[in-house]
Amino acid sequence: MAHVTAAPALRLDGVAYAYPGGRQVLYGVDLEVTPGERVAILGPNGAGKTTLMLHLNGVLRPGAGTVEVAGLPVIEANLREVRRRVGIVFQDPDDQLFMTTVRDDVAFGPANLGLTGEALVARVERSLDAVGMAHVADSPPHHLSGGEARRVALATVLAMEPDVLVLDEPSSHLDPLARSELAAVLQGLDATLVVVTHDLPYALQLCPRSVLLDGGVVVADGPTGELLADTDLLRAHRLELPYGFDPRTLNPRTASTPASPSSAGERR
């Protein structure tokens, strides 16, 4: 019997993109993510990380090159299925939480796909349970702390049952406990994971592989610990580890992540 190889969860081939007005941000990005893999996209501000992220489910379409999700080209005719398969959790939960209760927010996506009745109720309950937030189902989203809101935003995406989860700066503005709680949730999920971040310790904790993007091109791709231990590489691309953090001495699965200066003000 012939061996059938599964298509990559994500494949980008020569992706280039310029915004209206001519400012080019991506210059021929090649990237492949296998099903079940956990990959961090690292880079300084302005590297093109967010632009790249928005290509993964068709919010943006490349000016040159191609994007595929599980072998499915990201083109207009396939956008509904692509967006079901690839869920993006944005940096600001307010971009995803807009209903009067948490339950309604989590139900919104699958209801729009036609799920109703007990099946919809069960989907919402499973999604909230997965992020440890079932106890706030009837709360208004604006009453949540920053960490709680981030996990509920994740639940709204999980409710769509995506194959790939993409998270944009998931640790930003979270205090150390909230960062740890979110990391535990993410480590427990059975999904392909892409984490777009400049939080290097968080990348090490969550993702065995990292891709370093700068100037709209991939400049490094390899084991996260090895990339973070290369101080010359980090310095060349305007990245810096927190004081006292040594990736060579830590177990990525149990490493604590120091609070960043932006973590003050956990309450929204």
Residue 257 is predicted with a pLDDT of 46
Note the pTM of the prediction, 2 decimals: 0.88
Phi, psi of 210 (to 5 degrees): -130, 145
- Mean pLDDT, the chain, integer: 90
End-to-end CA distance of the chain: 57
The pLDDT tens digits for 24-64 are: 999 999 999 999 999 999 999 999 999 999 999 999 999 99
Residue 264 is predicted with a pLDDT of 36
The pLDDT tens digits for 130-147 are: 999 999 999 999 999 999
What torsion do the CA atoms of 138, 146, 131, 79 make, to the nearest 10 degrees? 90
Residue 252 is predicted with a pLDDT of 57
The pLDDT tens digits for 89-110 are: 999 998 899 999 999 999 999 9
Please give the Cα distance from 123 to 110 (Å, whole number). 8
Domains of the chain (ranges plus CATH)?
10-89+164-258 (3.40.50.300)
DSSP assigned state of 48: S
Judge contact between 152 and 133, C-beta under 8 A.
Answer: yes
